[in-house]
Amino acid sequence: MRTVGRILPVFAGLLIVLTYLLVRGATPDAALHERTLAALQALILNDAALHRDVLRARAGLLRNYDPLVQSVAGLRAAVNDLAAVRAIASDEASEEIGDRLAGLAAAVAEQEDLVERFKSDNALLQNSLSYFIHASHEFGRRAEDASAAQAVGALANGMLRFTSDPSAEAAAEVTVGLDHLASLPPAPTSATDTRALVAHGRLIVSAQPAVDGVVRRLLAAPVGPRARLLQDLYLDSHGRAVARAGIYRVLLYAAAVVLAGYLGYLFLRLRANARSLEARLHLESLIAEISTRFINLPRDRLGEGMSQGLAALAGHAAVDRAYILLRGSDGVGPVSDYRWQRGGLPAADAASDRDLLEMAFGWSPAGYERQACIHVPGVTELPAGAEKAVLSRRGIRSWLCIPLWRAGRRVGLLGLDAVRDAKSWPDDDIALLRTAGEIFLNALERARTDSERDALEVRLRQAQRIEAIGTLAGGIAHNFNNILGAILGYSEMALGRLPKDSGAWRQIQEVRKAGRRAKDLVDQILTFGRHGGHGHVPVQMPALVTEAVSLLRVSLPATVEIGTWIQTDAAVVPGDAAQLQQVIMNLCTNAAQAMDGRGTVDIALNVIELDAPRMLSHGNLAAGCYVRLAVADSGHGMDARTLERIFEPFFTTKPPGVGTGLGLASVHGIVADHGGALNVRSRPGAGSTFEVYLAATDAAGLVEERPQAPAPIGRGETVLLVDDDRPLMLLGEEMLAALGYEPAGFDSSPQALAAFRADPARFDLVLADQVMPEMTGSELAAAVHALRPDLPIILVTGYGTPVATDGLRAAGVREVLRKPLSSAELAGTLARHLGPGARPAAPSPPARLSHVR
């Protein structure tokens, strides 16, 4: 519709111009021209003929007036014909020609009148002349009247002179002669003749001058000259008309040539359009084909499909490189393996790709955006700058960059490089290529979501298995715990009753040792099965790592080196410091074992900021700030199958007896309990990296939120500490000292009793382990109680509830604590039993809590 509206006026205008040229270019009507010329010629010829015939008639040579009539009729017809002259002479001469024609018509009409008069008068004159000559001759011949004859003879002479020279004198002379003849007495025989002679003679005298006058006027009549003038004028005008028509014909020819050229141009344009349409169709079908191929493409062949698609695209667009660059999910550097390039071109390196990506995302030169794409037909014409440098470095002549968008974020680009020849892309092609880019991106997205889904499924399976095993193990562990309590309790009691170093005592002692090992195991099981983040406090991870490393250096073989990469000093997570320390210890122990006790374990700690959710091998992370703890070994690594199961309880790859299959399970349990996530990367023979992500927190904010009752602090009261396990005894001493007490530690109950006996008043409280070889805690308590009944005695046991409470109370035992001792529990208990003397601790920053720092 719009096209028709535009074309119609052009068409109409063209038609008008061509018609105008045709009309103006037409030669004046040839037939009309001939007719006009013939009429003009007839005028001239008839006029000439008329003149001739008039003269002949006057001379008496022509006695027939038909030729005169014919000439006059010819003149009249020619004048009528010439009416056409006005129509044929279209230019400025037209008016003049009309005037001339009117003049000519008037002249012809005048001529006609003169001819009529001439015919009438000449007829009389000729008749009278012939009669006069004949009659005067007869008179002379008869000569019967001499005087009359003489008079007639004189008259005839006068008449002869008059007819040859009709002057007034001659006329007068003839008149005198006629009067004389008329006055003569008529002869009886010739009276009639005489009268007739006189009458005719008088007629000659009067008619001849009149006739001659008419003839003179006829000969002077301007018909012929006027006709010639008109003819000249007409021919002149006609010549101009023909010349003008010639010019218009040339113009018409030029218009035809222009139109033919335009037609050719239209044809070429049509053909070009058809070709470009064909190319576009081809591109469309190509894109459809790529799209179809992606739909049915298995994920593992995605890369191949991408390469093929890019190759097809590049082949169609006749470019030398086609590639897809995607920004890495951590926002650094491009991640892309999808590219195609013409053979013989140097491959672009990763740095170049990164530069290109950053340059494209930060594109600044104006005037190169087309349809939200960057279209650079000529790199050399770019203004000097980073963009030009990057593109030139890659040897690009023409560049088309199609940004790829995901959820409103620009994630990468589809790039087309023309290296050999410069190239420009039409708008329609760019639109199609954008579609192609979306298809590529969608295929990648689909592959990504597919793999995420698969990973989620795997993890779900893992989690279910871990939970199932955990629940099962937890249930069993609880029951075992009770059973073990009984076993250990009765073992201790039996030990107390059996003579030392007896066979039974030694055997019971072994039972007790085995029971304790079983108890440790059960405790571990209970650890990963436990849920709920109770008692989480802000934990300074760098300090924790440092502490753990110092412990590890002691416990791990000297052949294992430990490298620490602590990149932050302000990484705080809410959690249980002991558990978190266990995580570090377990991971490192595991790493050392994976290297067969030889190699380097790298521990890295940093804080990362995630601006998008991220999927890990074991768990997901929402966007946010995380503390990342990574433990990497250079060990033998794991295959995917192993990797899938490593956090399962009781799963181990170690020989029976070496591993319990609980270390990593505990790590998983603790991390899950802290709301963290694990990521494991490992390949057989290339080592493994375990990453722990824990939500970072603002230390100050967290403490404010969770105020803790200040731990009661002692005032230097002396506490008798007894534990046969020397390290534990030393640990206890430190704890007590930290709580503001004066610890007095012994690793043997008899020595402790001896020291008490030496100075009973020195001690304010006794803290004793129940299970000790020489003397149990309760035995010691009884002895001490006997010496100082007021002294508060606290037993510590690792085996649940002590068996005989009543006996213990009798022995002066005020309370039984469960191993392992926690500082807070200890502080509370001591404060409780040291009576009103125990005062609340002065307000102190939580950072100073002993178990934290």
Partner 1 sequence: MARDAPIRRTPAGRRLAAATLSGLFVLGLIALWTSATGQDQADRFGGEPITPVPLMTALDPARVRLGEKLFHDAALSRGDLVSCASCHLLAHGGDDDRAHHMGADGRPLDFNAPTIFNVTLNARFNWRGNFQELERQNQAALLDPRLMNMTWHELLPKLRANPDYRSAFAEAYGADPEPRSLLDALAAFERSLLTPNARFDRYLRGERGAITAAEARGYSLFKSYGCVACHQGVNVGGNLFQKFGIFEDPFARRAAVTEADLGRFTITGAATDRHVFRVPSLRNVALTAPYFHDGSAATLEQAVAIMGRSQLGRTIPAADIEEIVAFLRTLTGEYRGRLLDASKERAGP
In whole angstroms, how far apart are CA 274 and each of 123, 268, 279, 287?
93, 10, 9, 20
* Closer residue to partner 1 (CB): 198 or 390: 198
Contact between 702 and partner 1 (CB under 8 A)?
Answer: no
Helix 168-183, helix 146-164: angle, nearest 10: 160
Cis, bond preceding 613 (omega within 30 deg of 0)? no
Among 18, 32, 84, 93, binds partner 1 (CB under 8 A): 93
The residue type of 818 is R
Minimum distance from CB of 165 to partner 1 (Å)?
A: 24
Minimum distance from CB of 430 to partner 1 (Å)?
A: 59
Among 18, 235, 514, 604, binds partner 1 (CB under 8 A): 235
Contact between 203 and partner 1 (CB under 8 A)?
Answer: yes
Contact between 502 and partner 1 (CB under 8 A)?
Answer: no
Minimum distance from CB of 164 to partner 1 (Å)?
A: 21
* Closer residue to partner 1 (CB): 233 or 621: 233
Contact between 478 and partner 1 (CB under 8 A)?
Answer: no
Among 63, 216, 654, 762, binds partner 1 (CB under 8 A): 63
Distance of CA 593 to the CA centre of its chain: 55
Q: What tokens does 135 get?
A: 């009659």
Stretch (H or E) spanning 170 = helix 168-183
DSSP letter string, 339-374: EEE-TTSPPPPHHHHHHHHHHHHT---TT-EETTEE
Distance separating alpha carbons of residues 223 and 47, to the nearest angstrom: 7
Distance of CA 824 to the CA centre of its chain: 64
* Closer residue to partner 1 (CB): 132 or 528: 132
Distance separating alpha carbons of residues 160 and 205, to the nearest angstrom: 11
Minimum distance from CB of 267 to partner 1 (Å)?
A: 36
Among 91, 421, 569, 734, binds partner 1 (CB under 8 A): 91
Contact between 822 and partner 1 (CB under 8 A)?
Answer: no
Stretch (H or E) spanning 439 = helix 427-497
Minimum distance from CB of 46 to partner 1 (Å)?
A: 8
Report 358-417 residues binding partner 1 (CB under 8 A). none
Minimum distance from CB of 134 to partner 1 (Å)?
A: 7
Closest CA to 574 of 540, 548, 613: 540
Stretch (H or E) spanning 815 = strand 813-818
Contact between 130 and partner 1 (CB under 8 A)?
Answer: yes
Contact between 65 and partner 1 (CB under 8 A)?
Answer: yes
Sheet holding 813-818: strands in order across?
742-746, 718-722, 765-769, 793-797, 813-818
* Closer residue to partner 1 (CB): 198 or 584: 198
* Closer residue to partner 1 (CB): 226 or 512: 226
Identify whether the C-beta of residue 688 lies closer than 8 Å to the C-beta of residue 630. no
Among 123, 455, 543, 731, binds partner 1 (CB under 8 A): 123
Among 110, 116, 445, 523, binds partner 1 (CB under 8 A): 116
Among 18, 32, 45, 695, binds partner 1 (CB under 8 A): 45
From 89-97, 311-319, 699-707, 744-752, give the range in contact with partner 1 by CB under 8 A. 89-97
* Closer residue to partner 1 (CB): 135 or 738: 135
The HSE-up count of residue 287 (CA atoms within 13 Å, CB side) is: 18
Report 171-190 residues binding partner 1 (CB under 8 A). none
Distance separating alpha carbons of residues 490 and 469, to the nearest angstrom: 30
Among 1, 5, 31, 66, binds partner 1 (CB under 8 A): 66
Among 96, 278, 369, 609, binds partner 1 (CB under 8 A): 96
Among 21, 25, 51, 53, binds partner 1 (CB under 8 A): 53
Residues 6+ apart with CB under 8 A from 80: none
* Closer residue to partner 1 (CB): 96 or 825: 96
Sign for the pseudo-dihedral over CA of 669, 671, 677, 680: negative
Among 12, 14, 73, 472, binds partner 1 (CB under 8 A): 73
Closest CA to 674 of 568, 544, 569: 544
Contact between 238 and partner 1 (CB under 8 A)?
Answer: yes
Extract the runs of DSSP E, i.e. beta strands, from 167-306.
none
* Closer residue to partner 1 (CB): 120 or 850: 120
Distance of CA 311 to the CA centre of its chain: 21
Contact between 226 and partner 1 (CB under 8 A)?
Answer: no
Contact between 69 and partner 1 (CB under 8 A)?
Answer: yes
Tokens 């602590």 found at: 566
From 62-70, 677-685, 810-818, 841-849, give the range in contact with partner 1 by CB under 8 A. 62-70
From 86-94, 569-577, 601-609, 616-624, give the range in contact with partner 1 by CB under 8 A. 86-94
Cβ neighbours around 648 below 10 Å, total: 18
Minimum distance from CB of 200 to partner 1 (Å)?
A: 6
Distance of CA 290 to the CA centre of its chain: 19
From 1-9, 198-206, 395-403, 672-680, give the range in contact with partner 1 by CB under 8 A. 198-206
Among 131, 368, 405, 505, binds partner 1 (CB under 8 A): 131
* Closer residue to partner 1 (CB): 28 or 333: 28
From 120-128, 329-337, 447-455, 467-475, give the range in contact with partner 1 by CB under 8 A. 120-128
Contact between 55 and partner 1 (CB under 8 A)?
Answer: no
Identify whether the C-beta of residue 417 lies closer than 8 Å to the C-beta of residue 340. no
Minimum distance from CB of 183 to partner 1 (Å)?
A: 19
b (16+ CB within 10 A) / e for 554-563: eebeeebebe
Minimum distance from CB of 266 to partner 1 (Å)?
A: 35
From 60-68, 269-277, 303-311, 415-423, give the range in contact with partner 1 by CB under 8 A. 60-68
Distance separating alpha carbons of residues 676 and 463, to the nearest angstrom: 14
Sign for the pseudo-dihedral over CA of 363, 364, 369, 371: positive
Distance separating alpha carbons of residues 804 and 816, to the nearest angstrom: 11
Please, is 397 exposed, middle or buried when counting C-beta atoms within 10 Å of its C-beta (0-12, 13-18, 19+)?
buried
Contact between 218 and partner 1 (CB under 8 A)?
Answer: no
DSSP strand pairing (765-769 vs 793-797): parallel
Residues touching partner 1, count (CB under 8 A): 53
Among 55, 184, 187, 196, binds partner 1 (CB under 8 A): 196
Q: What is the 3-state secondary structure (H, E, C) of 758-791?
A: HCHHHCCEEEEECCCCCCCHHHHHHHHHHHCCCC
* Closer residue to partner 1 (CB): 228 or 819: 228
Look up residue 760 and give its DSSP letter. G
Distance separating alpha carbons of residues 383 and 418, to the nearest angstrom: 19
Distance separating alpha carbons of residues 772 and 795, to the nearest angstrom: 12
Contact between 237 and partner 1 (CB under 8 A)?
Answer: yes
* Closer residue to partner 1 (CB): 84 or 702: 84
From 59-67, 160-168, 405-413, 767-775, give the range in contact with partner 1 by CB under 8 A. 59-67
Rounded to 5°, angle at Cα 268 from 266 and 273? 90
Report 24-43 residues binding partner 1 (CB under 8 A). 37-38, 41-42
Cβ neighbours around 804 below 10 Å, total: 12
Q: Is 474 helix (H, G, I), strand (E, B) or coil?
A: helix
* Closer residue to partner 1 (CB): 52 or 497: 52
Contact between 124 and partner 1 (CB under 8 A)?
Answer: yes
Look up residue 73 and give its DSSP letter. H
- Positions in the binding site for partner 1 (CB under 8 A): 37-38, 41-42, 44-46, 49, 52-53, 62-70, 72-73, 76, 91-93, 96, 116, 119-120, 123-124, 126-128, 130-131, 134, 192, 195-196, 199-200, 203, 233, 235-240, 242-243, 246
